[in-house]
Amino acid sequence: MPPHGGLRPVRSFKSLAFPAGRESNTGPMIRQAIFTACASLLAFPPIQAQENSVTALPAPAQTKTFEFKDGDRLVLLGNTVIEREQRYATFEPLLALALGEKKVSVRNLAWSGDTVFGHARSYFGPPKEGLERLEGHLELLKPTVVLLCYGSEMAFERLSGLPEFLTGYRNLLELIRKKAPGVRLILATPPPLETLPPPLPDQTDANKALSSFRDALRKFAGSQNVFFVDWFELMGGMPKPGVVQSPLTENGVHYTRQGYEKLSARLIEALGLEVPKISSAELDPMRREVLRKDELFFNRWRPQNETYLFGFRKHEQGQNAKEIPMFDPLIIEADGKIQEIKTGILDARKRL
């Protein structure tokens, strides 16, 4: 995957291709401790109380199928597990085939290591800059559907930051809805981790945390009226103790090609869609075109040497910034080729 360069967020994109001691026993000390504890409870209510307040009104039951519309613009948003899908292009071909004649464009805005607060996409600035950067991309892409997957860090933080995380997630959803009015949202849980042979760590406790996080996220999704995908359970749920015999990850965390094939198939299943039976050989031409399109788009929205193109060193090479929008027609052309390949596959299936 091409690296990104530069120190500051991009401020000006004209268009994009889309047609984070002992305690004293004295009375005064006891009274002070009681007062402090009560104040803390008032300032920081327990997680359970917060969850009860969020879910006081029952959310409508989720439909089994997420409805895509012809012409939808789908944006994928999240951290590493979403961004790395671009290495294998396993999701978009399956989605395209499952949707039949409907045309849906897909753009991957995920950023490895990112959080709901925008830490990674802010470069070396504060998280606020990361969210400002995201706002600009959402305004330009104008998504009609956004699929999000955040929170894998909860596996290692052991839910200590859950209240703050949920507040950040809520704010992120509000930002998306503000920048893309009418957008429909899909919220996926992080998939499970794998325990591989030493020296890699045992992920049992991390998966227990992810399982509890999944439960909290389900309630949160209901309160936000978004479509919920339990990717954790769909990928096997809580793993059995011990080393995984047939791993789907490189290191217990990052999924392999085979892992992404399963992740994508389970995601399509969770959306209530069905992919026609097709061989890997038949799928390869579309996958290659999706890989090409994703690389073009990656270089469009995260070009190398951004500091020289748009930042504080643009006086050196800023004249080359005009070339960045030249990716747009190439991306749109790739979209068209993906649709052509899909149509050819579906027509061939009809003739069987």
Q: What is the pLDDT of residues 54-82, one digit of tens each?
A: 343 445 578 789 999 999 999 999 999 99
Whether 281 maps to a domain, the answer reads yes
Number of domains in the chain: 1
Whether 115 maps to a domain, the answer reads yes
Whether 264 maps to a domain, the answer reads yes
Whether 119 maps to a domain, the answer reads yes
Whether 2 maps to a domain, the answer reads no
Greater pLDDT, 150 or 3: 150
Judged against a pLDDT cut of 50, whether residue 35 lies above it is answered with no
**What pLDDT is recorded for position 48?**
38
Q: Distance between CA atoms of 220 and 11, rounded to whole angstroms?
A: 33
What one-character DSSP code corresponds to residue 239? Answer: P
**What pLDDT is recorded for position 60?**
59
CA distances, 265 to each of 35, 97, 141, 188, 258 (Å):
54, 12, 26, 14, 11
Percent of the chain with pLDDT over 70: 78
Name the residue range of residue 338's domain.
Answer: 62-350
Whether 303 maps to a domain, the answer reads yes
262-296 pLDDT, tens digit each: 999 999 999 999 999 999 999 999 999 999 999 99
Mean pLDDT for the stretch of residues 94-113: 97
2-30 pLDDT, tens digit each: 444 433 333 444 445 554 333 334 344 43
CATH of residue 310: 3.40.50.1110
Whether 168 maps to a domain, the answer reads yes
Whether 192 maps to a domain, the answer reads yes
**What pLDDT is recorded for position 325?**
76
Please identify which residue in the block is written with the tokens 């080359």. Answer: 320
Q: Distance between CA atoms of 303 and 306, rounded to whole angstroms?
A: 6
**pTM greater than 0.75 (yes/no):** yes
CB within 8 Å of 253: residues ≥ 6 apart: 80, 193, 194
77-101 pLDDT, tens digit each: 999 999 999 999 999 999 999 999 9
284-339 pLDDT, tens digit each: 999 999 999 999 999 888 877 776 556 655 676 666 666 677 889 999 999 999 99
